[in-house]
Amino acid sequence: MTLATKNLPALDAPRSAIRARADPHFDYHGVLDRPPAMPLPLPPRAAVPSMRRLAAALLLAMAAAGSGAAPAAVTVRDDSGATVRLTQPAKRIVSLAPHATELLFAAGAGERMVAVTEYSDVPPEAARLPRVGGGGGLDLEAIVARRPDLVVAWGSGNPAAQIEQLRALGLNVFVSEPRRLEDIPAAIERFGALAGSAGAASAIAAQLRARQAQLQARYAARPPVRVFHQIWDQPLMTVNGRHLISDVLRLCGGANVFATLPALSGAVSEEAVLEADPEAIVVATTAAEEARWLAAWRRWPRLTAVVRGNLFAIPADLLHRPTPRVLDGAERLCAALETARGRRPTEGPPPARPKAGG
C-alpha cells in the first residue's frame, strides 16, 4: 500500500492556492495541519514590534483600563496543561481562532469580546469585531492595544513564538486545543468560569452532553462501517484516529480506515484508498466543491462505496470546527452511516477489490 503522510501544523485559515479555493468557514482546526509544502508565514522582521515597544504599549493600556473592586479570582487549566489565573473574571477577551470565538460566545462571553482573528464569523456578532491577525500570524501591537485581560490562543494554529511573546508581556493566555467531543462542553464551562458567565455556560454544556449521549446510545454500538473521510482533494488528505473527526466517526459507529496514520492529518495516495476499499466515503467540503469531489470517486466503479452508492457529503463547517455545531455534523454523519448499513447486501459474495489503473 502506498501511503504518503505529511506533518503539517494547523493554520487559522488556508493561505496561497488552498486559500483561493477554500471555504472561508473552515477553521482547519487540526485538519489541514498546514497547507501542503508551505511553511507557516511570519510577519517580516521589520514588521515585528520589539518586546520593549510592546511592553510599553501594554503598560499604557493597563493604566488606561483603570482599576475597580475585584470580584473572586478564577483559576482554570487550559488544553496545554498550563494553569490560567485571573484575579477577577475577564472583561476584555481577545480570541485568536475562529473555533475559540464560537466557543466563547456559546459560553456567554460575547459581550466581553474585544477582538478576534480572520474567519471568526459565527455567530454573526463576531464578524463585526476588530481583527488582530489570522493564518499569516498575529498583530501583537493590535492585540495589546485592545487591553485584554484574557487572550485565548490556538495551540496548533497560532505561531508558537508569538504565543510566548504574549505570555512574556504578562498577558493571561489560555491555549485552546479541543481534540475530542467531550472537550467542547468542557471548554465552554472553562470559558464561562473565566468570563463570569458560568451559569449560562453550564446550561449550554449540559445540552451538548445530552445530545452527544443520545447519539452515542443510538449509533455507537451499531455494526461498524469502514469510512474514508476526505478533507482535501489536491493532494488527497484525511485524518488519523486521534483527530476530532475520528471521534465523531466512533460516535456514529464508524471506523476510520486511516486511523493509524502517524500525523493528525496528512496526504494519502488514491491507490491507498482503493486498497483500503472503504464501505463509505464522506467528503467534507463546500457546496460548490462536493459534486466534483464525489464525481472523482465514481471513476472507480468496483470500489465498495461506489457499488453501494455510499458517497456522502457533509458541510465542512459542521465537522472541521470543534464547536457546538459539530453535533449538527455528527447527526448528519450518523444518518449517512445508517444509510450505508441499510445498503449492505443480504447474500452473495463481496465485490472484487478495485485496483488502481484498472
Among residues 238, 242, 241, 348, which one has the least CA distance to residue 284? 238
Cα 46 to Cα 216: distance, rounded to the nearest angstrom: 52
CA angle (295 as vertex; 292, 299 as ends), nearest 5? 140
Cell of 87: 484575579
The residue behind cell 474585544 is 114
Torsion of CA 214, 217, 219, 223, to 10 degrees: 180
| Residue 17: predicted pLDDT | 32
Position 49 scores a pLDDT of 55
d(CA 204, CA 185): 8
Three cell numbers at 20?
A: 483561493
Question: Residue 156: pLDDT band by 50, 70, 90 thresholds?
Answer: confident
Of residues 5 and 333, which shows the higher confidence score?
333
CB 25, CB 50: distance < 8 Å:
no
The amino acid at 319: L
H/E element holding 250? helix 244-251
Superfamily name and number for 50-209: Nitrogenase molybdenum iron protein domain (3.40.50.1980)
Neighbour tally for 306: CB within 10 Å: 18
Among residues 124, 181, 132, the alpha carbon closest in space to that of 154 is found at 132
**pLDDT band at residue 73, thresholds of 50, 70 and 90?**
very high
Summarize pLDDT for 170-221 with one digit per residue, the tens: 999 999 999 999 999 999 999 999 999 999 999 999 999 999 999 999 999 9
pTM, two decimal places? 0.79
16-35+222-342 with 50-209: one CATH topology?
A: yes
Distances (CA, A) of 293 to 18, 73, 236, 289, 290: 15, 51, 10, 6, 5
The CATH number of 16-35+222-342 is which of 3.40.50.1980, 2.30.130.10, 3.40.640.10, 1.10.287.70?
3.40.50.1980
**pLDDT tens profile 270-315:** 999 999 999 999 999 999 999 999 999 999 999 999 999 999 999 9
| Grid-cell match 445498503, residue found | 343
> Can you tell me the distance from the alpha carbon of 114 to that of 125, in angstroms, rounded to the nearest whole number?
11
| Buried b or exposed e, range 228-237, using 16+ CB within 10 angstroms | bbbbbeeebb
Mapping DSSP to helix (H, G, I), strand (E, B) and coil, where does residue 37 land? coil
Distance, CA of 254 to CA of 165 (rounded, Å): 42
Q: Rounded to a whole number, what is the largest CA-CA distance in the chain?
A: 77
Strand 237-239 versus strand 254-256 pairing type: unpaired
Domain boundaries, the chain: 16-35+222-342, 50-209
